[in-house]
Every structure is written in C-alpha cells, then in structure tokens.
Structure 1
Amino acid sequence: MSMKDINTNDTYRIINKIKACKNNKDINQCLYEITEMIYCEYYLFAIIHPHSMVRSDISILDNYPKKWRQYYDDANLIQCDPIVDYSNSNHSPVNWSTFENDVINKKHPNVIKEAKTSGLVTGFSFPIHTANNGFGMLSFAHSSKDKYQDSLFLHACMNIPAIIPFLIDNYRKINIAHEKLNSDVTKREKECLVWACEGKSTWDISKILGCSERTVTFHLTNAQMKLNTTNRCQSISKAILTGAIDCPCFKN
C-alpha cells in the first residue's frame, strides 16, 4: 500500500455528509467511506447506554466479519474485551497491539488474539463518551498485518477526532426515541429526585421546595411512572444513569 496524506477536504466532505444523514443506513455508508479514507477494511461504531445498574442497551453499526460477531456475542466477550474496558475510562485513541500480550485470566480468552483468527488482524479504536453516561468506541481494523500500521494509526488520529462529534450528534438525533423518557420528567420532578438522591426525606424535600409532603410524593410517583421503576431507590439510580437528572437541574 502506498501512503498519502488524507486531504482535509475529504474530512470536511465526510462531516457534511454525516450532518445530512437521515437514517442508520446513511450513517453506515459514511462509516464505510471513513474506513476507506483512512485505508482500513472494517469498522465498528458502538455506543453503550446504561439502562439500569445491571443492564445496558448496546447500539452497534459495523461491517465486521459475521463469524466474529456471532462468536463474540455467543461467548459474551464484551465482559473481557480490553477495548470496551479501556473506552469506558479513557479518551485517547489506542492501538489494539497494546493489549495483545496482556495476561488474561485463564477463564477468559484474549479477545485481541481471538479476533485475529476471524480476520481482524490489526486495528485501533477511538473511545466515545456521550451524554447520559453513555460510552463506546469507533474502531477500525485490517485483515492483514500491514507494515504501514503505525502510519495508518497516526493519520487516523489526525482526522477521526474531528469527525466523531458530528457522528455522535447526528446518530443521536436519528435514534433519539429512547431518550424521550428523560425529557418527559418535569423540572419539579427532577428537583424532587435530586433531593431524594441527597438522602432527603419526603418531609425534608417539602420544606426545601416549599410545598406539602403530599405534593412531593405526587412528583416522585409521577417520575417513577415515567422512568418505569418500582420504588424511590430504583428511580434515583435510573435517573442518574439515564441523565433524567442532570445537575444543576434548577436552571431555567
């Protein structure tokens, strides 16, 4: 492969195309073009939304080998995937080779080495962090060990960070239905949830907000129904995880 500089106009063109996307099929096409632009073969765009303390919703757009995706899901490799773990707590892009020789618990396979057997020989990932405590990654891979791998990674690092914010924003607009729940929670309900989160009793909250205990209970019950929870404790945890309460919530 002969390396050449990625034209700034290519990045600008991709950004404008992403902004014009109307559905996930359009987003997929943009991801494919980004992948070609940085001389890679495979891409995976994944966002993990916390749904509760024990369950998350995972959104994925990719062209990874079907054999690998099937094995990955069946073996629940997300639980021991170093890229997922890294992306959850970091912001800098990372080359997969960083984790290739990591010592792994014998009960879990080395995901990076396992991926090679399915055609994902080399790759790198860009961590993604979204509103409402979501996170994920934008990954690119090759089916062969390319001698230009370091140069490919460098070129990607110079262009992909400029694209990611537009990708996240328009993907969110296209798939915003699942976030409607947060906007349904009223300002007063959020205030009650925030003070409940601070450990305040119904009586405490009524004094802070200048209303009756019955009114506080009414607001918390409404919030519980909108969040589809069964008690105050679950309502608080889900409100935090999904961003239904985003302090300071007392602003207009």
Structure 2
Amino acid sequence: MDPNLRSLIDMLEAAHDEYMIKSALRNFAHSHGYDRFAYLQTEGLDIRTFNSYPKSWQGIYLGGKYSRIDPVVTEAKRRREIFFWTADDWPTRGSSPLRRFRDEAVDHGIRCGVTIPVEGSFGSTMMLTFASREREVDISGLLNAKKAVQVVMALHYQLKIIAATTAVSPKRMLSPREMTCVMWAIRGKNALETAMLIGITTRTVQHHLDNARKKFNAKTVPQLVALAKDRGLV
C-alpha cells in the first residue's frame, strides 16, 4: 500500500478542524501530482461538498447544478471501485450542457483525476476525487481498495464531528473508529463483517461499539444507532 495513504488516514483522524483536513488532503494530492481535491456527498438531487477547487468553479458548478450531468458523479454512482477519468473522454463537439461543462472544467484546471466512491446510507453516495490540470495522472492502480474506502469514511465522519462539536457534549463525541463501526452497523454489518471491511479484529470492532454505547448510555447497538442519528452524527 502507498505509505502516503496510511499517513493520510492518520492525519484525517487526528484533525481538529477543517484547515487540518484540507492540509492533509492537499499534501496527499500534491505528493501524487494532483492539484486539487474534492469530497462530494450526493443524496437524491442534493449535494454537499468540501473541496479545494477555485471559488469561481464552485459557483459555476453549484449554480449550474452540474452534479446532475457530471460524468464523474454519474460513474461514481454506477460503480463502487476506484476509477481514473479524463475530460478528454467527454464530448468535445456541439453545444450541449455536457460540452459546456467539459470546457469550463478544463478552463479551471480540472482535466483528469482519480475518484474513490463509497455507497452511503439511504441511497447516498460519497466520493473523494483528486484532480489535475494535466492530461493523465493515474494512480488508481496504486491505491489499496479497502484503505481508500477508509480514507473516505475517515474524512466523512471527521467533517461530521467538527460540524457537531457545538451541539454535542465532548464526552459523547465518538472517535473516528467508533463512528466507522457504528456506520457499518447501520448498514447491517455484524462485528465480523465490519472487521473484514476495515481491516481490524472482531474484538476491536466490539470494543469500539461498546465504548460508543457507553458514551450514549445505549443498551444495544440499535439503540446506539438511533441516538447517534438523532444527534446528527451518522
């Protein structure tokens, strides 16, 4: 596995604010020849994003509702594995919205990239993209699939933790690992299945779930899940 990927996971889980998260993602992106990063979560037609793209592009993308036609988003929803993409494969003729999207993306330095998609709860999709202005910077073959998913989940829940710090007592804040285990429990995974998915032992998964239950005074995992959802953590 790329050692930088392991370092990125550690840095995300240790981050205390959005600045630290952005710094970790930028460092990883630059170490592999990418200029920008973008985390995107879609649920129906709604999107949430955390990225380092130019503000002018963010305005165009959100204002034009480009997530509905973005080939990267479409592909991420269709497949559940790391993939490389390039704007050179998108339409280059005519005056369609997709052609305009391509031209504007390239003008803003977004020409190729690698995307890690993860299926979320309630039909949502989470994806982390690293993009470059160059024609081809493909590191998809270098990324361990399970660790790449762990990066996305660590980012997702760390952003939730930061957003919830003003509303939830610090004593009840779940650690990134605890939140990851709770997330898989929501999706119906038992301790053994969760252990296999995130690369830790079954006993460690149970330990994280037990700690989470204690923090929320929950007697069962289903009760823990309900309480965590009620507080906006999952």
Tell me the percent identity: 16
- Distance of aligned partners of 1:155 and 1:75 in 2 relative to their CA distance in 1, 3 Å threshold: same
Which residue matches 1:22? 16
Q: Secondary structure at the match of 1:175?
A: helix
Of 141, 145, 159, the residue aligned with 1:154 is: 141
The answer as to 2:61 corresponding to 1:67 is: no
Distance 1:92 1:155 in 2: 13
1:170-204 Cα offsets, whole Å, 9 max, x none, are 22333358x99xxxxxxxxxxxxxxxxxxxxxxxx
For residues 57-96 of structure 1, the aligned pairs below 5 Å read 58-96=47-85
Distance 1:127 1:105 in 2: 30
What residue identity is the alignment partner of 2:151?
I
For residues 68-217 of structure 1, the aligned pairs below 5 Å read 68-97=57-86, 100-102=89-91, 107-110=96-99, 111-146=101-136, 149-150=137-138, 152-156=139-143, 160-176=148-164
Deviation at 1:42, TM superposition (A): 0.7
* TM-score normalized by the length of structure 2: 0.58
- The higher radius of gyration belongs to 1
Distance 1:170 1:36 in 2: 21
- Distance of aligned partners of 1:17 and 1:114 in 2 relative to their CA distance in 1, 3 Å threshold: same
Does the CA-based 8 Å contact 2:91-2:98 persist in structure 1? no
Runs of 4+ residues deviating >6 angstroms: none
- Distance of aligned partners of 1:94 and 1:103 in 2 relative to their CA distance in 1, 3 Å threshold: farther
* TM-score normalized by the length of structure 1: 0.55
What residue identity is the alignment partner of 1:11?
L
